[in-house]
Amino acid sequence: MSSSQPTFNDRSALWAQLQQGARQWDMVIVGGGIIGAGILREAARRGLRAVLLEQRDFAWGTSSRSSKMVHGGLRYILQGDIQLTRESLQERERLLKEAPGLIDRMGYYFTVRKGRFPGRISFSLLLAFYDLMAGIKDHHYLKRGDVQQRFPGIESQGLRGACYYTDTVTDDARLVLRILQEAIAAGGQAANYVKVENLLKTGDRVDGVVAVNTETGERASIKAKAVINATGTWADRLRNEVNPEVRVRPLRGSHLVLARSRLPVQDCLTIFHPRDKRPVFAFPWEGATVIGTTDLDHDQDPDAEATISSSEVDYLLEAVADQFPQHAISRDDIISTWSGVRPVIGSDKSKDPSKERRNHAVWVDNGLVTVTGGKLTTFRKIALDAINAATGTLGELKVSEPDEAVFRIPATGGSAIGTADEPWAQRLAGRYGARATELFDGAGEAERTKIDDTEFCLAECRWAARNESVVHLDDLLLRRTRLGSLLHRGGEAIFPALERICAEELHWDPARWEAELARYREIWSRHYYLPVT
């Protein structure tokens, strides 16, 4: 079914427009992660002629490899950053209302054990303050037997009970794509696989960028009133063209994905690692169980995909063994891994990475606005700060939409989408907005069935291939869907079905399919599975 509203821009047509240089842009946004997407959404809301350029795929970096939590951050209270916690909780509640099915509330359990800090009373007081700032009241205490029932096989020695509270969970890559979908529907433009090589200047003032289409090697000079550098881990690189400061401290966080049957958890359990007492989470995600995260300085090439190290695998397995010794989880149980690099504003490299603050920063240098740091949860607030920093060249801006909503709430239920499974319909509506009905309409009956233990179906693969600027197979399996992280051997069982979909929607011939499959297998085995030893 066709639609008058585009889901994503026609990448080839947009590139041709950029090369011609006929259009005067108000804003070029460099970086297609959560912050860049948020800035494009806010720019489009203000009627700006804005284009976003991403050197790889949308959400390729940290924004598809986070811990999937849209949360306030209890530890920020302990660090004394009450303002960041309050803003995060306000944004969390906003997103829950705007995008149910994409942002979902999840229970968190913090075990109380004999002789370990903090105890029940002190932690319950912290949770009461946390809920007060969020405007909700859902924390309570569970006795030992209830915790053991909730988490079968949990270590019983010293266990007294658990404090319960809630935060939320999401698919971070899909969150980025939904924001881009809203931005493009409001008039924004976005292109993936377009790398900004350097800045254009008139005198010493930045007034554009030089970009290269990484698929063709073609270049384009793009003039704009404002340039915003939202490249996260890469922020210093572009900013160093106008300011030599190095401010980003890249920190790597890695995760393990296990089959739910091997470690069945219905909610998130906080595990204090036996070695260093850092919190590690075991939580349900997309039909699997995730263990994470680590927090280490990442000194590798930022252009190379982050990869979990063997010592990180051992570290995370050690945490699981400490809390769930009966399950005997080993490397053989790991379906996949992922590693993301957080762009933290570094204060002192001798400082424990886990104690670095998660605030964001905005700098203006000769017309270039650079924004980095911050949290997934507060992307809207960060985007507004970046937009406001650019008003020196853009002038006074007026919002053309009636409210501040990031997402337009879709009025679609199970019957409208074409499924009797109402929770699944809510999920699809949250992930695809008002286009969820078209997703099902454009696929056959067999493609509307959930794949194994996941919540994904092949209809989503077909929709993404048709509508969401898929350039490579890894775009489809690692970001548009998460099937590459959830299915054994990166989704090998569905390759024949995907070959048909890519042939029909992307016009890939057998040679192109084989090349894409080889590329994907190389990426998956090196960066989304166990490290090569």
Measured between alpha carbons, how far is 137 from 165 in angstroms, rounded to an integer?
9
Percent of the chain with pLDDT over 70: 97
Measured between alpha carbons, how far is 430 from 100 in angstroms, rounded to an integer?
6
- pLDDT (tens digit, 9 = 90+) per residue, 205-225? 999 999 999 999 999 999 999
Residue 167: strand, helix, or coil: strand
Q: In the predicted model, is pLDDT for residue 408 greater than 90?
A: no
The answer to whether the 11-62+173-247+357-394 and 78-169+249-344 domains have the same CATH topology is no
Q: In the predicted model, is pLDDT for residue 380 greater than 80?
A: yes
How confident is the model over 332-355, as a mean pLDDT? 86
- pLDDT (tens digit, 9 = 90+) per residue, 128-163? 999 999 999 999 999 999 999 999 999 999 999 999
CATH pick for 11-62+173-247+357-394 out of 3.40.50.880, 3.50.50.60, 1.10.10.10, 3.40.190.10: 3.50.50.60
- CATH code, 78-169+249-344: 3.30.9.10
Higher pLDDT, 117 or 49: 49
pLDDT grade for 2, boundaries at 50, 70 and 90: very low
pLDDT score recorded for residue 115: 82
Token pair, residue 78, equals: 């302990």
Q: In the predicted model, is pLDDT for residue 4 greater than 50?
A: no
pLDDT grade for 350, boundaries at 50, 70 and 90: low
The residue whose two tokens read 């190290």 is 309
Q: In the predicted model, is pLDDT for residue 420 greater than 90?
A: no
H or E segment to which residue 111 belongs: strand 103-113
459 contacts 443 by C-beta, under 8 angstroms: yes
Measured between alpha carbons, how far is 177 from 479 in angstroms, rounded to an integer?
9
pLDDT score recorded for residue 392: 85
How confident is the model over 452-459, as a mean pLDDT? 97
Name the phi and psi angles at 126, rounded to 5. Answer: -60, -45
The domain ranges of the chain are: 11-62+173-247+357-394, 78-169+249-344, 442-527
pLDDT grade for 396, boundaries at 50, 70 and 90: confident
Long-range (24+ apart) CB contacts under 8 A made by 305-308 are: 305/523, 305/526, 305/527, 306/65, 306/252, 306/254, 306/339, 306/340, 306/341, 306/527, 307/339, 307/526, 307/527, 307/531, 308/254, 308/255, 308/256, 308/337, 308/338, 308/339, 308/530, 308/531
pLDDT score recorded for residue 118: 81
Q: In the predicted model, is pLDDT for residue 354 greater than 80?
A: no
Q: Which amino acid is at 95?
A: L
**What's the whole-number average pLDDT of the chain?**
93
257 contacts 334 by C-beta, under 8 angstroms: yes
Peptide bond into 118 cis (omega under 30): yes
User: What residues form DSSP beta bridges with 369?
Assistant: 228, 364
pLDDT score recorded for residue 353: 80
pLDDT score recorded for residue 416: 73
Q: What is the CA radius of gyration of the chain?
A: 23
How confident is the model over 357-366, as a mean pLDDT? 91
Q: In the predicted model, is pLDDT for residue 192 greater than 80?
A: yes
Long-range (24+ apart) CB contacts under 8 A made by 449-452 are: 450/424, 451/483, 451/487, 451/494, 452/287, 452/486, 452/487
How confident is the model over 188-196, as a mean pLDDT? 98
Measured between alpha carbons, how far is 529 from 275 in angstroms, rounded to an integer?
24
- pLDDT (tens digit, 9 = 90+) per residue, 35-89? 999 999 999 999 999 999 999 999 999 999 999 999 988 888 877 889 889 999 9
Q: In the predicted model, is pLDDT for residue 471 greater than 80?
A: yes
Q: In the predicted model, is pLDDT for residue 412 greater than 70?
A: no
Token pair, residue 523, equals: 């990426």
Name the phi and psi angles at 9, rounded to 5. Answer: -65, 150
How confident is the model over 310-315, as a mean pLDDT? 98
How confident is the model over 236-251, as a mean pLDDT? 96
pLDDT score recorded for residue 424: 93
Calculate the alpha carbon distances from 101 to 62, 436, 482 in Å.
22, 12, 16
Gap between the terminal Cα atoms of the chain: 49
Measured between alpha carbons, how far is 464 from 459 in angstroms, rounded to an integer?
9
- pLDDT (tens digit, 9 = 90+) per residue, 497-523? 999 999 999 999 999 999 999 999 999
Compute, in degrees rounded to 10, the torsion defined by CA atoms 71, 72, 76, 77: -140
Measured between alpha carbons, how far is 413 from 427 in angstroms, rounded to an integer?
10
Confirm whether pTM is higher than 0.85: yes
